[in-house]
Amino acid sequence: MPKILFISRKRLILIFVVTALLVLGAVSLRWGAIQAVSGTAEQTRMIHLVTGEFKTTLPDGTELEAYRWDPGTIYVNKGERIELHILGINGDSHPFFIEGLNVRGEVKKGRETTVTFTADKEGIYRIICLSHPDRNHNGPMIGYIVVD
């Protein structure tokens, strides 16, 4: 003969409440993890760049060298606060400015320079080294900040 299981109304309510609390707790923990990963607009994002150099000797003995920012292009979100850390690896000095952002600085070999800005407008902004602006000065040493 099959047994029939009876659950009292109190026990059924208790099971429902405990289940609901477990689900809410799991959702709350998951929401906290999502917030920690995505961050907020007030936080500053750090981006690291280095100065680099390419050097070669042509068949006639002429030496060519070119300097660059590495990475050459960085992508940021509109309204994001950026802290740019640039480490001088090659070249003694790289005075620079970022077009349209009113940012200036100088990177020296073996030192790190930090500049901070907020990317308020969409567009492409060039990081231009004043020591290497064109081919005649071992350049152009130009990097790009793309703001979406």
Residue-range domain boundaries for the chain: 7-39, 44-147
The answer to whether 132 touches 139, Cβ cutoff 8 Å, is yes
For residues 85 and 47, is the Cβ–Cβ distance under 8 A?
yes
Helix and strand element counts for the chain (H, E): 1, 9
Residue 127's pLDDT is what? 97
CA torsion, ordered 52, 130, 91, 108, to nearest 10 deg? -100
Rounded to two decimals, the pTM is 0.68
pLDDT of the residue at 5: 65
Among 80, 77, 74, smallest CA distance to 50 is for 74
pLDDT the model gives residue 119 = 86
Q: What is the pLDDT of residues 114-129, one digit of tens each?
A: 999 998 999 999 999 9
Position 45 scores a pLDDT of 93
Q: What is the CATH number of domain 44-147?
A: 2.60.40.420
The pLDDT value given to residue 33? 52
pLDDT at 38 (0 to 100):
47
Residue spans of the chain under pLDDT 50? 35-39
